[in-house]
Amino acid sequence: GTTIAVDPSVIPYGSKVYIPEFDNVFTAEDCGSAIKGNRIDIFMSSEAKCNEWGVKKITIYVLK
- Domain spans of the chain, in order of start: 3-62
Tell me the C-alpha to C-alpha distance, in Å, between residue 56 and each of 47, 53, 59, 64: 16, 8, 10, 23
Over residues 4-28, the pLDDT tens digits come to 999 999 999 999 999 999 999 999 9
Q: DSSP letter at 18?
A: E
CB within 8 A of 61, min separation 6: which ones?
Answer: 17, 18, 19, 20
Full-model pTM? 0.86
Taking the alpha carbons at both ends of the chain, their separation in whole angstroms is 18
pLDDT at 64 over 80: no
Over residues 31-45, the pLDDT tens digits come to 988 899 999 999 999
Q: Which of 37, 46, 41 is nearest to 28 (CA)?
A: 41
